[in-house]
Amino acid sequence: MAKKPTDLDPSDGLIVDEVGAWAAEKHDRLRKYIDAYRSVRALYLPPKGTGGAGYIELFSGPGRSRLKGSNEFIDGSPIVAYKAAQQSRTRFSDLHFNDLDPDKSSALEKRIAALGGAGHFYSQAADAVVDKIVDALNPTGLHFAFLDPYKLEVLPFSIIRKLAAIPKMDMLIHVSVFDLQRNLRRYVAEGDVLDSFMPNWRGSVDVNRTDHGLRTDLLDYWLGEIRKLGTSPAEGIELVSGPGGQRLYWLVFVSAHPLGRKLWEDIRNINVQTRLL
Ligand SMILES: C[S@@+](CC[C@H](N)C(=O)[O-])C[C@H]1O[C@@H](n2cnc3c(N)ncnc32)[C@H](O)[C@@H]1O
């Protein structure tokens, strides 16, 4: 079978991902969070502080995407974040971007450089690179990780545990409901994906519940495990829906400190969403 030609952005000749129009919503929330957090971030940057403010993506993509079924190109989350910090006049001190696909990683590096930025770029499995990134971050800084995997299986709980070990680490996590919905019964029967995503889940949920009930219980259990790390998910979990109303993601904000959660409360209500919890 002929290989699908690689999509290039005509504005820079570099590769792009293909995304649905709903991607813009997660980017809006990311942008607003970075802007709202500017004065807190400034406390960790010279001249006020020295701990630093890191921005981390473990599933970065190439930095630009083409909207499915169109010739319209939009920024990917790393570029959205970079520009939002620049516009807020409070840049991140350290950028750490990883994507398993080296072509995407390299395209992103060129795009950040074209904006005058520099960072650390990796191309490894997220669960391996997280150690390197955590080691590189100043533990007294204020850091923010945006985790946006396609599938649950590449987001083992060990990643969240390692990031949450840094005292001031906020995280915005996309959990693919689409994946959980489509593969729920297989995941339950086989066990390995859920064992890695939310260890010890089996003793804590009733697998005989309806699919909807079971999904909600699994998410509850996962959030409970995050709370045990000493950090806590914000109450609001947004369901980002596709144009046909299909469920795509849970958008989960995790912050170790009350101010982060308060800011998120203000930001999450971009438009009316279905609330799960
Ligand atoms: C949903 S996309 C990221 C989109 C990006 N956050 C944005 O909004 O522009 C997920 C990315 O994860 C990468 N990926 C897949 N498996 C991975 C793994 N195990 N570790 C790191 N990256 C992975 C894929 O190559 C893909 O680019």
pLDDT confidence of residue 269:
65
Best of 59, 80, 103, 179 for a ligand 1 pocket test (most atoms within 8 Å of beta carbon):
59
Ligand 1 atom 17, closest CA:
100
Under 8 Å between Cβ of 256 and 218? no
pLDDT (tens digit per residue) in 177-202: 889 989 999 999 999 999 999 999 99
Which comes out higher in pLDDT, residue 260 or 199? 199
pLDDT (tens digit per residue) in 207-251: 999 999 999 899 889 989 998 898 776 666 667 777 777 777 888
- Residue 150 CB less than 6 A away from ligand 1: yes
Whether the upstream peptide bond of residue 47 has omega within 30° of 0, thus cis, is yes
Which residues 6+ apart lie within 8 Å of 80 measured at CB? 27, 30, 31
Q: How many CB atoms lie within 10 A of CB 206?
A: 8
Domain residues for 129? 8-268
Nearest of 223, 226, 46 to residue 141 by alpha carbon: 46
pLDDT (tens digit per residue) in 99-149: 999 999 999 999 999 999 999 999 999 999 999 999 999 999 999 999 999
Q: Is residue 1 part of a domain?
A: no
Q: Is residue 184 part of a domain?
A: yes
Q: How many CA atoms lie within 13 A of 182 on its CB side?
A: 11
Q: Is residue 12 part of a domain?
A: yes
- Report the alpha-carbon distance of residue 118 to residue 93 in Å, rounded: 10
Mean pLDDT to the nearest integer, 147-154: 95
Q: Is residue 276 part of a domain?
A: no
Strands (E), 50-140: 54-57, 64-67, 73-75, 94-98, 120-122
Q: Is residue 99 part of a domain?
A: yes
Ligand 1 atom 23, closest CA:
100
Under 8 Å between Cβ of 63 and 78? yes
How large is the C-alpha radius of gyration of the chain?
A: 18
- Report the alpha-carbon distance of residue 180 to residue 240 in Å, rounded: 14
- Residue 148 CB less than 6 A away from ligand 1: yes
Conformation bin of residue 30: beta by default, left when phi > 0, alpha when psi is -120 to 50: alpha
- Report the alpha-carbon distance of residue 65 to residue 48 in Å, rounded: 37
Q: What's the CATH number where 26 sits?
A: 3.40.50.150
Best of 67, 99, 196 for a ligand 1 pocket test (most atoms within 8 Å of beta carbon):
99
Structure tokens at 102: 């080296």
Q: Is residue 274 part of a domain?
A: no
- Report the alpha-carbon distance of residue 85 to residue 261 in Å, rounded: 19
Backbone angles phi, psi at 54, to 5 degrees: -95, 150
- Residue 76 CB less than 6 A away from ligand 1: yes
- Residue 99 CB less than 6 A away from ligand 1: yes
Structure tokens at 221: 């259990």
- Residue 149 CB less than 6 A away from ligand 1: yes
Distance 125 CA to ligand 1 centre (A): 10
Distance 245 CA to ligand 1 centre (A): 23
- Count up the domains in the chain and report the number: 1
pLDDT (tens digit per residue) in 155-185: 999 999 999 999 999 999 988 888 998 999 9
Question: Which position has the token pair 């807190």?
Answer: 40
Structure tokens at 158: 């060990």
Q: Is residue 3 part of a domain?
A: no
Q: Is residue 52 part of a domain?
A: yes
